[in-house]
């Protein structure tokens, strides 16, 4: 099967309606999408990604109004967040409607839902009479894709079509928020900064790691990892000199490592730019002939908290 890369929303809709899975753009990362109400399509997502069945998927739709078809309740703070940030890099964990297959939620009573902020995918979702299950379009545990070409490089001819929406503008997966006893809980740090969420609903708890049986997508403690071993460095420190190492630095290159084997997240210290560059730079380093990648942490504020979360999990072996 020859994979097409293009912008034909109608063709993609036809493929999805026929039970196939495709690559789609979002503002966070590219997704591997299938009809969320079709268990066979959902099984294909798990198979193509080689994703364990205990790791639930996120359901995507194009408006708050359509949520009632897929969830049984929208608590007031959830509605506040949805109205403030959708479309956007925020996922809400809500009680699932019985029409959503248990396979999507890994048998859990809650379903993760969001409205992505990308014009092509919003147009696609508006044209469909079903939501899309769409985890990141990469082999399970590997670096998330932020361009259509990344998807093609990783999944090859396992998908018939990749909708090309250009580079992801956020570059980190969505922040996932659930509710326990009516209070918001962050299950995954991501492209929506905590201070933005707290400005709407007040203080939140953060519980973003699980070694197995996660309550929400993206909670596994080892994830987003390059094939080359990655070692974390505290911000401002310098690694051991090495001709066989690569480096992912925050603002400026390290001494003792060849310049061609280094990538800078943001020379100006802009955390949004650093988030956009994170996965693409990790991929470039992973494609080099290296023994080790050093990764410098960034300031733990705003999106920096989520960037450091991804780096920590990429370093787990």
Which residues fall in the annotated binding site for ATP?
A: 51, 136, 144, 188, 224
| CA end-to-end distance (rounded Å), the chain | 34
Query: What are phi and psi for residue 9, nearest 5 degrees?
Result: -65, -35
**Are residues 32 and 23 in contact, defined by beta-carbon separation less than 8 angstroms?**
yes
Q: Do the bridges between strand 205-206 and strand 183-188 make them parallel or antiparallel, or are there none, so unpaired?
A: parallel
Cα→Cα distances 114→177, 178, 210, 244, Å: 11, 12, 22, 42
47: exposed, middle or buried (C-beta count within 10 Å: 0-12, 13-18, 19+)?
exposed
Q: Supply 113's token pair.
A: 């839902």
Binding site, annotated residues for L-threonine: 28, 60, 114, 134, 174
Nearest-angstrom CA–CA distance, 15 and 22: 8
Nearest-angstrom CA–CA distance, 301 and 171: 17
**Are residues 171 and 30 in contact, defined by beta-carbon separation less than 8 angstroms?**
no
Binding site, annotated residues: 28, 51, 60, 114, 134, 136, 144, 174, 188, 224
DSSP helix/strand/coil, 221: coil
Q: What does the angle CA 189 – CA 267 – CA 195 come to, to the nearest 5 degrees?
A: 30
Question: What is the DSSP code string of 99-138?
Answer: TS-HHHHTT-SEEEEE----HHHHHHHHH-SS-EE--BSS
| Relative orientation angle of helices 304-315 and 271-286, to the nearest 10 degrees | 20
């Amino acid at each position: 099967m020859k994979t097409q890369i293009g912008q034909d929303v109608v063709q993609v809709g036809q493929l999805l309606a026929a039970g196939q899975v495709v690559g789609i753009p979002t503002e966070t990362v590219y997704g591997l999408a299938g009809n969320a109400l079709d268990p066979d399509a959902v099984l294909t997502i798990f198979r193509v990604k080689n994703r364990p069945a205990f790791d639930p998927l996120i359901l995507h739709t194009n408006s708050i109004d359509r949520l009632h078809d897929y969830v049984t309740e929208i608590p007031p703070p959830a509605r506040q967040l949805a109205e403030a940030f959708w479309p956007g890099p925020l996922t809400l964990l809500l009680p699932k409607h019985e029409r959503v297959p248990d396979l999507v939620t890994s048998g859990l009573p809650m379903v993760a839902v969001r409205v992505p902020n990308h014009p092509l995918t919003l147009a696609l979702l508006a044209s469909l009479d079903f939501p899309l299950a769409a985890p990141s379009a990469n082999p399970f545990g590997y670096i998330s894709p932020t361009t259509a070409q990344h998807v093609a490089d990783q999944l090859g001819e396992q998908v018939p079509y990749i909708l090309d929406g250009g580079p992801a503008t956020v570059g980190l997966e969505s922040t996932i928020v659930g509710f326990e006893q009516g209070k918001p809980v962050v299950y995954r740090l991501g492209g929506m900064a905590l201070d933005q969420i707290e400005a709407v609903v007040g203080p939140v708890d953060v519980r973003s790691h699980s070694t197995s049986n996660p309550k929400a997508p993206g909670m596994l403690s080892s994830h987003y990892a390059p094939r080359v071993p990655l070692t974390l460095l505290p911000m401002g420190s310098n690694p051991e000199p090495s001709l066989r190492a690569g480096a992912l630095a925050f603002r400026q290159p390290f001494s003792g490592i060849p310049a061609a084997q280094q990538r800078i997240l943001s020379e100006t210290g802009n955390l949004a730019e650093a988030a956009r560059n994170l996965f693409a730079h990790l991929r470039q380093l992973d494609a080099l002939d290296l023994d080790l990648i050093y990764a410098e942490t960034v300031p733990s504020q705003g999106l920096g908290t989520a960037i450091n979360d991804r780096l920590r999990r990429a370093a787990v072996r």
